[in-house]
Chains A and B, each alone.
Chain A
């Protein structure tokens, strides 16, 4: 088997942080051909470290991770030589299971492209921090046109809409199917739904008018982001094979991310070594996004916090 992984890297201080180094090493261990596209102003040590292990492409910092994927795929050359083509970035701590195990498990699934997780937010899509494409998908017109039509965007939400959600949409419309390594079960869905409601109660004040009630109702039913809503499924022996740094940094659903980090450090001491430091060192570069700001928990809801907050799953799998 011959696989290609293109990893997009960025660091505001030009470093390759410990979690990213472990990610590169895991890729190299499980994937035959690894190419890192970095938009960081790498220091010498980091550049040397990467160059010794992977094909390194450095480029200016624009266009987000998707443009790095494109540059990497263009650099890789003839993609038809690979049995699988993977794109991923350095935004998560992981993999919590070896890549060769993950890839081997997915090889039995009759799909055209897959990722760690799928989300229905905005539109059904494979989350773009890790996506693998089967060779026929790579050979398709839809795949080729998606990448060749791409232009660098400097707006994060546009990147999500046009490229993250857009890529899945384009491939689905062309007739291809997708799947996720993390398969949600009923328990997951139940808990996720509860956590979305918890989040909704923190997004704005409780409704005081009919119009506000309608907005609130809609918020109660929005699709969840599994990498935040199910983040503690990582503790179940890496069933969710990653934890997003953003989840730890912003706690987007208000589920006590600090507790999650502590639990993760306890469960995966080696894999989470240095993560806390990284979060602290880069905090100033990643201020809270206004769109994700939460209000304090209303008094009446405080007793419910233990029902939703991150915890070690009861059933270890």
Chain B
């Protein structure tokens, strides 16, 4: 098939899909199309790619899925019915919520039809979505028209004819002064100078400033000057490019100045026509094109375009000398990006004029560095205006930098919607975002009254982006977010502003935790010694250690999130762009202290989840500390105090050595040594005879970290136990299973393993105790013997196991939290439910539920996995928060319970029995041995359905009356509380620790 026919076939497919919106395409391109076919052709041949319809975004499809390189994403999406029914073609639509194809839905959709949007977006009608999207895309197109610089052209227009100044006889004063500044570039000098000597125009002087070179620059220049008296050599002590260029400018005698970097060469025909053009029309500035692969970069960029990128090559620019002097030459405070800065200053009042000849080969593109951000930042942020802007008391503005990542953007807007808090403002700064991301953000912003959006078309670093957002924000408090948080949590970020109520506090540092629930960073501390090399405070520790240091003063913040009063940030002139690629927040904190604006404190109230990658501690770290050490002579004080607040003494130093790039270190490398404190926990005296010593504990859990772990009973059990131990003066961390191997457990006195499915290796240096509360079959003699003490939640199993293995196992039954489970939590007189069962099916039709259904009992179930077994009407919910469980139990007429078979057989009385009994419920359970006597009156066993029926039918006579149950329940709450178990555990631990220390 020929190309033309193939395209026609594709056009037909696009038209047939019903997913072509001509007006939408016209809004993107600013072009009117004769009809849908022309619009479809425009879409299919577009580069960069257009979107054919407000609900189809090819770039999104491509970013989310693997589309073959030669296929159009829309046609790829359409090609497979399964695909188009399940994968959404646009971030604002969720096709899985549609019962039919999107095009069919659109065919019937009216302006007031609700679009099936993803949860984060909220309700939106088709009419509103299209209207917002059209407005957004038009705004983008209008800006793009101003900012976009045309790409390379294959040919150059004919150069102007006219008298060339080439024939001019060199006079006493040269026509052009070529300024060249060099520092240790001797090898490239000759080629550069030769390209000047090869120019058709001979009436020039070359002022070469040797900027304190230590190579043979001076001798090479001497050799050049010996043969060409137009070459003037100036030597100055090394002082940087801008100063060297200014020194050259000071010596320039020509009417015009041109520039040449010694690493480059001019095209032979550059100078004469550009100077001729200046002479001809009396302009002050002109420049030539550069040669790029496949053509020429031939543009005369405007100031607005230069704010996007450095489009003009200084080495092809010729300026009237007087003008450059009026502008003050080059800015010597800049360590780089001086070219860009000059181009921006020139274009503030003068238009650039392109002479269509080649000046040079284009520079090889270098990564924009921090200086580019400094130069652009000066022009993108109007600090005086920001100072004058009114700020809303009580409002917190969260400034977020985005560069792509549509899912991340949706999450932020979803978080804003969930927060439903008019004092929470979201300021999104899009850095060099593409058309569709820009449009998406505009649509989302338009729907959120407290969202603001600022677009930065240039590739600036996060510091500049945050400053732009700060200037745009309206809140009294500002939270700067420069990295991706795993869960954008606006209420948490709002609370981060709370410490700022204290006037002495300038910055609030959040507690950053990993997906494993360990501390990633709680601010910056500095190791002993004079280096200014921050390390993440409490990295790898359990959150509990950070909580001990809540509201502690830190030497500096560290990490992608920091909160401050807007006034503080404005006085600091925001985040420093020069520090922006490294650790700008550290610099911010240090400047705040230096300027007397206040200290940095740690706020641990709501941990924020992020990855370690959010801290630039590898690749960019060396640059970051180079800057910090240039600015600050010594590390700020406060590191020891911060550690002390967390409960640690700094007793030594350990140097982390990395290669200069943060990677592997070889013997040849000069290592980067980062001093890290070696800490030991404060020890309480063990010798006291009365009361318990304060020990550090970790409870090792079988349940996973994060949201998943919240549905595990073990998680809540461990937390309640930890709280009870804390009430006894212990410090207790609770580790999810992923945190099991963290090194910082070595700071602990006691490890308490709640045995789940995993066997856990005790640490020989720590007192280790195991409490077998489930899966007794998995525990063998070797495991038991590896612990200093073993408890089990069964009287019979403990006795049998002790006899069988010779390892003493102490019975320690399950327990309850009387604060949550007590009769007072009932909703009313036996009100809510009749027969209650709380628990997941675990994939089996559990005895209690099966029996209850069999006898037709009025059953209410809370738990997952029951749909396949029971009438859905009986399932009240799939999840009950632990805090609500007590209320359900207390309000139920009967609480049903059963055990895993092995648990039942071995006498592991379920914690539900304790909870329900403590709530004063009538409990009907399968038969389990070893039920404590004080539960006896509240718990009745059934062995078959007949027995269950009798228990339910005769509950009023078989169970004590309400008042009596209440009294019994309260006794259960005392005898079988977490506090009671905690006393046993703590006393045992104290005894073992004392025995060890006596050894």
Interface residues of A (CB under 8 A from B): 110-112, 134, 136-137, 139-142, 173-177
The answer to the question of B186 belonging to the interface, with a C-beta cut-off of 8 Å to chain A, is yes
Q: Classify the interface of chain B: helix, strand, loop or mixed.
A: helix
Size of chain B's interface in residues, with CB distance under 8 A? 16
Residues of A within 8 A of B190 (CB): 175, 177
Contact B219 A136 (CB under 8 A): yes
Contact B227 A174 (CB under 8 A): no
Contact B215 A176 (CB under 8 A): no
How many Å lie between the Cα of A110 and that of B220 in the bound state?
A: 11
The answer to the question of B801 belonging to the interface, with a C-beta cut-off of 8 Å to chain A, is no
Could you list some 25 contacts between A and B, CB below 8 A? A110-B224, A110-B227, A110-B228, A112-B223, A134-B223, A137-B219, A137-B223, A139-B222, A140-B216, A140-B220, A141-B215, A141-B216, A141-B219, A142-B216, A173-B187, A174-B186, A174-B220, A175-B186, A175-B190, A175-B217, A175-B220, A176-B216, A176-B219, A176-B220, A177-B190
Q: B residues 162-186 with Cβ under 8 Å of A? A: 186
Q: Classify the interface of chain A: helix, strand, loop or mixed.
A: loop
The answer to the question of B189 belonging to the interface, with a C-beta cut-off of 8 Å to chain A, is yes
Residues of A within 8 A of B188 (CB): 175
Contact A112 B220 (CB under 8 A): yes
Residues of B within 8 A of A137 (CB): 219, 223
How many Å lie between the Cα of A175 and that of B215 in the bound state?
A: 9
How many Å lie between the Cα of A134 and that of B216 in the bound state?
A: 14
Instruction: Tell me, rounded to whole Å, the shortest Cβ–Cβ distance linking A278 to chain B.
Output: 39
Residues of A within 8 A of B228 (CB): 110
How many Å lie between the Cα of A136 and that of B190 in the bound state?
A: 14
How many Å lie between the Cα of A33 and that of B226 in the bound state?
A: 23
Contact A136 B223 (CB under 8 A): yes
Looking at A134, A136, A142, A173, the one whose CB has the most chain B CB atoms below 10 A away is A136
Contact A174 B223 (CB under 8 A): no
Residues of B within 8 A of A140 (CB): 216, 219-220
B217 closest partner in A (C-beta):
A175
Residues of B within 8 A of A174 (CB): 186-187, 215-216, 220
Which of A110, A111, A175 has a CB less than 8 Å from the CB of B216?
A175
Instruction: Tell me, rounded to whole Å, the shortest Cβ–Cβ distance linking A201 to chain B.
Output: 39
Residues of A within 8 A of B186 (CB): 174-175
Contact B222 A136 (CB under 8 A): yes
Chain B 731-759 against A: per-residue CB contact (8 Å), 1 yes, 0 no? Answer: 00000000000000000000000000000
Instruction: Tell me, rounded to whole Å, the shortest Cβ–Cβ distance linking B609 to chain A.
Output: 54
Given A140-B219, A174-B187, 6 more A-B residue pairs with CB atoms under 8 Å apart are A137-B219, A137-B223, A139-B222, A141-B219, A174-B186, A174-B216
A139 closest partner in B (C-beta):
B219
Instruction: Tell me, rounded to whole Å, the shortest Cβ–Cβ distance linking A226 to chain B.
Output: 24
How many Å lie between the Cα of A137 and that of B216 in the bound state?
A: 9
Contact B217 A136 (CB under 8 A): no
Interface residues of B (CB under 8 A from A): 186-190, 215-217, 219-220, 222-224, 226-228
Instruction: Tell me, rounded to whole Å, the shortest Cβ–Cβ distance linking B386 to chain A.
Output: 50
Residues of B within 8 A of A173 (CB): 187
Residues of A within 8 A of B216 (CB): 140-142, 174-176
How many Å lie between the Cα of A142 and that of B186 in the bound state?
A: 11
Residues of B within 8 A of A112 (CB): 220, 223
B222 closest partner in A (C-beta):
A136
Instruction: Tell me, rounded to whole Å, the shortest Cβ–Cβ distance linking B983 to chain A.
Output: 80
Residues of A within 8 A of B224 (CB): 110
How many Å lie between the Cα of A11 and that of B188 in the bound state?
A: 43
B189 closest partner in A (C-beta):
A175
Instruction: Tell me, rounded to whole Å, the shortest Cβ–Cβ distance linking A149 to chain B.
Output: 15
Instruction: Tell me, rounded to whole Å, the shortest Cβ–Cβ distance linking A154 to chain B.
Output: 31
How many Å lie between the Cα of A137 and that of B224 in the bound state?
A: 11
How many Å lie between the Cα of A118 and that of B215 in the bound state?
A: 25
Nearest first, the 6 closest Cβ-Cβ pairs linking A and B are: A175-B186, A110-B227, A136-B222, A140-B219, A175-B220, A140-B216
Instruction: Tell me, rounded to whole Å, the shortest Cβ–Cβ distance linking B948 to chain A.
Output: 92
A175 and B187 in contact (CB under 8 A), knowing A139-B219, A140-B219, A141-B216?
yes
How many Å lie between the Cα of A4 and that of B186 in the bound state?
A: 26
How many Å lie between the Cα of A140 and that of B219 in the bound state?
A: 6
Instruction: Tell me, rounded to whole Å, the shortest Cβ–Cβ distance linking A109 to chain B.
Output: 9
Residues of A within 8 A of B189 (CB): 175
Looking at B217, B219, B224, B227, the one whose CB has the most chain A CB atoms below 10 A away is B219
Instruction: Tell me, rounded to whole Å, the shortest Cβ–Cβ distance linking B103 to chain A.
Output: 63
Instruction: Tell me, rounded to whole Å, the shortest Cβ–Cβ distance linking A57 to chain B.
Output: 27
A177 closest partner in B (C-beta):
B190
Residues of B within 8 A of A175 (CB): 186-190, 215-217, 220
Instruction: Tell me, rounded to whole Å, the shortest Cβ–Cβ distance linking A1 to chain B.
Output: 14
How many Å lie between the Cα of A27 and that of B228 in the bound state?
A: 30
Residues of B within 8 A of A110 (CB): 223-224, 226-228
How many Å lie between the Cα of A239 and that of B190 in the bound state?
A: 28
A171 closest partner in B (C-beta):
B216
Instruction: Tell me, rounded to whole Å, the shortest Cβ–Cβ distance linking B221 to chain A.
Output: 8
Residues of B within 8 A of A142 (CB): 216
How many Å lie between the Cα of A137 and that of B226 in the bound state?
A: 12
Contact A136 B215 (CB under 8 A): no
A173 closest partner in B (C-beta):
B187
B190 closest partner in A (C-beta):
A177
How many Å lie between the Cα of A1 and that of B222 in the bound state?
A: 18
How many Å lie between the Cα of A193 and that of B219 in the bound state?
A: 37
B188 closest partner in A (C-beta):
A175
Residues of B within 8 A of A136 (CB): 219-220, 222-223, 226
Instruction: Tell me, rounded to whole Å, the shortest Cβ–Cβ distance linking B796 to chain A.
Output: 85
Looking at B187, B189, B228, the one whose CB has the most chain A CB atoms below 10 A away is B187
A134 closest partner in B (C-beta):
B223
A108 closest partner in B (C-beta):
B227
Instruction: Tell me, rounded to whole Å, the shortest Cβ–Cβ distance linking A3 to chain B.
Output: 16
Instruction: Tell me, rounded to whole Å, the shortest Cβ–Cβ distance linking B201 to chain A.
Output: 20
A113 closest partner in B (C-beta):
B223
How many Å lie between the Cα of A175 and that of B189 in the bound state?
A: 7
Instruction: Tell me, rounded to whole Å, the shortest Cβ–Cβ distance linking B77 to chain A.
Output: 54
Instruction: Tell me, rounded to whole Å, the shortest Cβ–Cβ distance linking B219 to chain A.
Output: 4
How many Å lie between the Cα of A98 and that of B222 in the bound state?
A: 29
Instruction: Tell me, rounded to whole Å, the shortest Cβ–Cβ distance linking A105 to chain B.
Output: 15
How many Å lie between the Cα of A111 and that of B222 in the bound state?
A: 11
How many Å lie between the Cα of A104 and that of B224 in the bound state?
A: 19
B221 closest partner in A (C-beta):
A136
Instruction: Tell me, rounded to whole Å, the shortest Cβ–Cβ distance linking A94 to chain B.
Output: 27
Residues of A within 8 A of B217 (CB): 175
How many Å lie between the Cα of A173 and that of B228 in the bound state?
A: 22
Instruction: Tell me, rounded to whole Å, the shortest Cβ–Cβ distance linking A41 to chain B.
Output: 39
Residues of B within 8 A of A139 (CB): 219, 222
How many Å lie between the Cα of A174 and that of B216 in the bound state?
A: 6
B225 closest partner in A (C-beta):
A136
Instruction: Tell me, rounded to whole Å, the shortest Cβ–Cβ distance linking B753 to chain A.
Output: 66
How many Å lie between the Cα of A140 and that of B215 in the bound state?
A: 8
Instruction: Tell me, rounded to whole Å, the shortest Cβ–Cβ distance linking A145 to chain B.
Output: 10
Instruction: Tell me, rounded to whole Å, the shortest Cβ–Cβ distance linking A221 to chain B.
Output: 27
A174 closest partner in B (C-beta):
B216
B220 closest partner in A (C-beta):
A175
A138 closest partner in B (C-beta):
B219
Instruction: Tell me, rounded to whole Å, the shortest Cβ–Cβ distance linking B193 to chain A.
Output: 10
Residues of A within 8 A of B226 (CB): 110, 134, 136
How many Å lie between the Cα of A173 and that of B220 in the bound state?
A: 11
Instruction: Tell me, rounded to whole Å, the shortest Cβ–Cβ distance linking B801 to chain A.
Output: 78
Looking at B217, B223, B228, the one whose CB has the most chain A CB atoms below 10 A away is B223
Instruction: Tell me, rounded to whole Å, the shortest Cβ–Cβ distance linking B70 to chain A.
Output: 40
How many Å lie between the Cα of A111 and that of B227 in the bound state?
A: 9
Instruction: Tell me, rounded to whole Å, the shortest Cβ–Cβ distance linking B260 to chain A.
Output: 16
Residues of A within 8 A of B227 (CB): 110
Residues of A within 8 A of B215 (CB): 141, 174-175
How many Å lie between the Cα of A134 and that of B225 in the bound state?
A: 13
A142 closest partner in B (C-beta):
B216
Instruction: Tell me, rounded to whole Å, the shortest Cβ–Cβ distance linking A193 to chain B.
Output: 28
B197 closest partner in A (C-beta):
A110
How many Å lie between the Cα of A134 and that of B223 in the bound state?
A: 8
How many Å lie between the Cα of A223 and that of B224 in the bound state?
A: 30
Looking at B217, B220, B226, the one whose CB has the most chain A CB atoms below 10 A away is B220
